């Protein structure tokens, strides 16, 4: 029997348990995408991402292999004052051949400004808004998206909120080896991802390796190129960027992370460059949570946590956002399993709406560090108000209406004195060979 079918059957056997007055919904089916052929040079699956200071990378796909990798752009509709030329790539995967995947960096761009742009000299006039130069800045957050009816609901809710960037802690398309699903996912997210930068890191569903035939992450790396070169990384699987007073680090849960690894070495260099006067907030994303009291994926993040938590603690990471577990959980500030006012707030937000459904079973009693946990689909919003205060809220997809279910003010470590306190500790780790 097909394992997916077994999973579906199992999900239907799980009794629907009610917590308080809220009955958790069942998973929804993968969306059907009608066959909607476009001219070969029509730009499809457009998405944007930050690419270094005041620059944006525009990515799109054409069927036509000769379509040029140019983006025309400007600040008034239909009148393009600038043009940029980029690069392109493509890949094949068993019997599948991708279209031409274009990556073109535009800029320098003004902050907090609407730009109109067009890809490949064809197709519709699109709009994007660049992030602000200063606080406040708002991030929309949702991981483990997939492309089901619930994904659609989550995206609709995010679309209604006023945000500057989308952060995605892994598991995008749930293509799971079926490459055309990367294309349908690209189409599904285009309305949002062509308008605001989508900054993503990889999850297990991006790996798609086939022993002896295919290395991991080929589709993901070809389609979702992130600013790794711009941030001194040699791999698209980990990188960093800065936006309006926030330094964001994207790590890879499925890349070597021990002290001798390239990822760890890069992380040390990246952290040594962080200037808390310029970026008072430090946020890290990766896929597999370190603090998780759900029974799903219990303990899976332990090895990475053992290797990297001392460094992140010394570096005063304010917030970690993770996915993988299909539920929502928020912790107090925590370090080495204990509540610690100079530790990190860990948020698991792997509840974007994928076809595998929710993770309902929790470890009891609830650990001391766990503040709020619930298995529902939804999304998060993180508004960094100023150098000391941020407002986090989680919105569950309650019968298709976004309901704010959890909210908290988070104060930065810089404002608490922790950063000054741990200065020597950080220096010691950073200079260690």
Positions touching ligand NAG (CB under 6 A) are 385-386, 388-389
Residue 145, class by beta-carbon neighbours within 10 Å (0-12 exposed, 13-18 middle, 19+ buried)? buried
Q: Which of 167, 137, 173 is nearest to 389 (CA)?
A: 137
- Smallest gap, in angstroms, from Cβ of residue 378 to ligand NAG? 24
Q: For the chain, report the end-to-end CA distance as a whole number of angstroms.
A: 51
Tally of CB atoms within 10 A around 172: 28
Q: In angstroms, rounded to a whole number, what is the distance separating the alpha carbons of residues 81 and 110?
A: 14
Residue nearer to ligand NAG on the CB measure, 32 or 277: 277
Residue nearer to ligand NAG on the CB measure, 214 or 389: 389
Degrees (nearest 5) of the Cα angle 32, 35, 36? 120
- Smallest gap, in angstroms, from Cβ of residue 280 to ligand NAG? 11
- Smallest gap, in angstroms, from Cβ of residue 383 to ligand NAG? 10
204 phi, psi to nearest 5 deg:
-65, -30
Active site residue 346: no
Q: In angstroms, rounded to a whole number, what is the distance separating the alpha carbons of residues 333 and 325?
A: 20
Residue nearer to ligand NAG on the CB measure, 86 or 136: 136
Q: Which of 233, 273, 275 is nearest to 250 (CA)?
A: 233
Residue nearer to ligand NAG on the CB measure, 135 or 228: 135
- Smallest gap, in angstroms, from Cβ of residue 409 to ligand NAG? 7
Q: In angstroms, rounded to a whole number, what is the distance separating the alpha carbons of residues 369 and 340?
A: 9
Q: Which of 273, 275, 267, 348 is nearest to 313 (CA)?
A: 267
- Smallest gap, in angstroms, from Cβ of residue 229 to ligand NAG? 35
Residue nearer to ligand NAG on the CB measure, 112 or 386: 386
From the candidates 247, 297, 324, 326, which is the catalytic residue?
A: 297
Q: Which of 147, 163, 191, 120 is nearest to 28 (CA)?
A: 147
Residue found under tokens 């190129």? 225
Residue nearer to ligand NAG on the CB measure, 34 or 162: 162
- Smallest gap, in angstroms, from Cβ of residue 351 to ligand NAG? 27
- Smallest gap, in angstroms, from Cβ of residue 410 to ligand NAG? 11
Residue nearer to ligand NAG on the CB measure, 83 or 385: 385
Identify each DSSP E strand in 54-125 by its residue range: 56-62, 70-74, 82-85, 87-89, 92-93, 96-97, 100-106, 114-119
Q: How many helices (H) and strands (E) does the chain have?
A: 8, 26
Tally of CB atoms within 10 A around 228: 19
Segment (H or E) for 343:
none
Q: Which residues are catalytic?
A: 297
């Amino acid at each position: 029997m097909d394992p997916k079918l077994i999973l579906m059957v199992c999900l239907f056997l799980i009794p629907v348990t009610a917590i308080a007055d809220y009955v958790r919904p069942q998973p929804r089916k993968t969306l059907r995408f009608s066959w909607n052929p476009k001219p070969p040079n029509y730009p499809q699956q457009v998405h944007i991402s930050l690419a270094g200071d005041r620059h944006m990378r525009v990515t799109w796909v054409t069927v036509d292999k000769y379509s040029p990798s140019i983006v025309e752009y400007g600040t008034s509709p239909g009148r393009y004052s600038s043009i940029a030329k980029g690069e392109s790539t493509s890949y094949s995967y068993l019997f599948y051949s991708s279209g031409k995947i274009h990556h073109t960096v535009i800029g320098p761009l003004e902050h907090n400004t609407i730009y109109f742009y067009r890809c490949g000299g064809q197709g519709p006039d699109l709009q994007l808004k660049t992030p602000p130069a200063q606080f406040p800045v708002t991030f929309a957050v949702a991981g483990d998206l997939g492309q089901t009816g619930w994904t659609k609901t989550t995206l609709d809710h995010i679309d209604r909120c006023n945000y500057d960037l989308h952060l995605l802690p892994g598991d995008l398309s749930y293509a799971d080896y079926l490459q055309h699903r990367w294309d349908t996912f690209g189409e599904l997210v285009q309305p949002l991802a062509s308008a605001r930068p989508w900054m993503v890191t990889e999850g297990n569903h991006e790996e798609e390796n086939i022993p002896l035939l295919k290395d991991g992450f080929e589709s993901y790396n070809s389609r979702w190129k992130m600013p790794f070169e711009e941030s001194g990384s040699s791999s698209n699987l980990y990188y960093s960027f800065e936006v309006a007073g926030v330094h964001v680090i994207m790590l890879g849960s499925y890349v070597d992370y021990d002290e001798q690894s390239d990822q760890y070495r890069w992380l040390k260099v990246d952290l040594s460059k962080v200037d808390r006067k310029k970026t008072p907030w430090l946020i890290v994303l990766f896929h597999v949570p370190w603090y998780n009291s759900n029974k799903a994926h219990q303990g899976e993040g332990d090895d990475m946590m053992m290797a990297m938590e001392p460094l992140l603690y010394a570096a005063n990471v304010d917030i970690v956002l993770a996915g993988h577990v299909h539920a929502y959980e928020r912790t107090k500030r925590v370090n080495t399993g204990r509540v610690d006012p100079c530790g990190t707030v860990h948020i698991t937000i792997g509840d974007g709406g994928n076809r595998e459904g929710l993770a309902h079973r929790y470890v009891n009693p609830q650990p001391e560090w766990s503040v709020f946990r619930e298995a529902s689909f939804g999304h998060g919003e993180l508004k960094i108000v100023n150098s000391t205060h941020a407002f986090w809220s989680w919105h569950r997809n309650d019968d298709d209406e976004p309901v704010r279910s959890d909210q908290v003010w988070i104060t930065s470590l810089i404002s608490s004195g922790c950063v000054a306190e741990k200065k020597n500790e950080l220096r010691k780790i950073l200079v260690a060979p």
